[in-house]
Structure 1
């Protein structure tokens, strides 16, 4: 209790909290895009429940990892060396998660580009994901993003209460934003391809990070923001053309 009162009176603690909340929210965007794409493949009645379960599992996992900070810090200790580079458990987790994202995004892009590649029965059985499979895949990526998120938090502040508050705040934002983001992606098919491209880039970045090649997050998010802006302009242009065509057809009658 005295430690909490001391933190409340410390301006640097508040600055660290706000900074960490913002960083955790930004880091959660990757996870949110994946959850939105994956749950949109479920039957309509199961999507909201799957999103809530997936994000709740992310919160539980991150809080559980915060309770084992000493172990988390050790994840950055090299376990073996290959070609002069030491690989830690964190590196291996990032590489595995990156490979999974690249595989998943490539598979989904292939289906979107060439949906007639399989017969209808196969599509119905494989493309419409089961609830359990969706939760399992969300849980796998939650683990990857949670480890990265907690190591970031540990590197920014030594105070556990600040980390806990920041994680809860960031996951709450994810919970609120998940539904609208998923519905927006569903209403705009071209956004799906853009989001899958984001996942492909994020997966590649995770693999690079695991191999010891640091990629500044600012470059990644700047590229994502620019691509999203271009797509928004394309959507506005398409809407204007559609309205103009509809008005012309109505006038022709």
Structure 2
């Protein structure tokens, strides 16, 4: 089952996906914290840990469900017109709709974070929580909402990796478990870092737009789609990994430069 971990490509995908899961999980941590903070202090940490554990369980269940649907690769319908040919399968449908959802979710999230930064927090704070059970119910709902883009990101990053259908599933489950454990241990530190450097989360949301386009292209490729006689090819994942690594390098250089400028200004 774990033979896939002998592949360098699998390790690159695993590390990249784990990083994205952590950064994209910051909103989840923030919302869980807001819900937990309405409880007595002795119950807050318990509610946060329960919330993150439920997030992990939900995501693993969704991973198995989505992986099963993606395994249904035989076309059940064909579209054949003068300019378009495509074999429609459940695999292609899931990837195509997932790509559209990621693009929509990412652009709307970027808009809200830039134009309406307090929108989600205000909406959540308006809901009253009086007991641990009510907090957990609200956390389950929050977890489910955030699990969707998390799962689609995992599918986009690992689809096609390995020779066996379960290889990608193994990588996705490992990445989800590692990211949740890291968030449970370093939740406060991660939240402080992201709040101090909000551009990191915007960068991660921008990566989701790339992954969304990649999922759409892969859906068309798996359906052997042809537009005006030209077959649509899949986007090599190496391009995505390079784009993410290069963007992160530039962002870390910017962070270092900003820190240096702040020190100079303080000294002056």
Query: TM-score, normalized by length of structure 1?
Result: 0.69
Superimposed CA distance per residue, residues 19-43 of structure 1 (whole angstroms, 9 cap, x where no aligned partner): 3862455445554443334443554
Task: State the match for 2:210 in structure 1.
Answer: 201
Superimposed CA distance per residue, residues 51-107 of structure 1 (whole angstroms, 9 cap, x where no aligned partner): 4322232223445778x6xx763x111122222111211111111111111111111
How far apart are 1:166 and its partner, in Å? 5.4
Alignment of 1:220-231 (within 5 A): 220-231=240-251
Alignment of 1:170-189 (within 5 A): 170-178=175-183, 179=187, 183-189=192-198
Residue 88 of structure 2 aligns to a residue whose secondary structure is strand
Residue 214 of structure 1 aligns to a residue whose secondary structure is coil
Task: State the match for 2:78 in structure 1.
Answer: 81
CA contact (8 A) 1:62 1:167 kept: yes
C-alpha separation between the residues in 1 aligned to 2:170 and 2:215? 26
Mean Cα deviation higher: 87-96 or 51-60: 51-60
Mean Cα deviation higher: 226-235 or 20-29: 20-29
Task: State the match for 2:6 in structure 1.
Answer: 18
Q: Residues 28, 236 of structure 1: CA spacing in aligned structure 2 closer, same or farther, 3 A cutoff?
A: closer
Is 1:139 the counterpart of 2:140? The answer is no
Is 1:107 the counterpart of 2:108? The answer is yes
C-alpha separation between the residues in 2 aligned to 1:86 and 1:95? 13
Alignment of 1:21-32 (within 5 A): 22=11, 23-32=13-22
How far apart are 1:17 and its partner, in Å? 3.9
Unaligned runs of 5+ in 1: 1-12, 249-253
Is 1:218 the counterpart of 2:226? The answer is no
C-alpha separation between the residues in 2 aligned to 1:140 and 1:122? 17
Q: Residues 171, 65 of structure 1: CA spacing in aligned structure 2 closer, same or farther, 3 A cutoff?
A: same
**Pairwise CA RMSD:** 3.8
Residue 211 of structure 1 aligns to a residue whose secondary structure is helix
Q: Residues 237, 143 of structure 1: CA spacing in aligned structure 2 closer, same or farther, 3 A cutoff?
A: closer
Task: State the match for 2:25 in structure 1.
Answer: 35
How far apart are 1:218 and its partner, in Å? 0.8
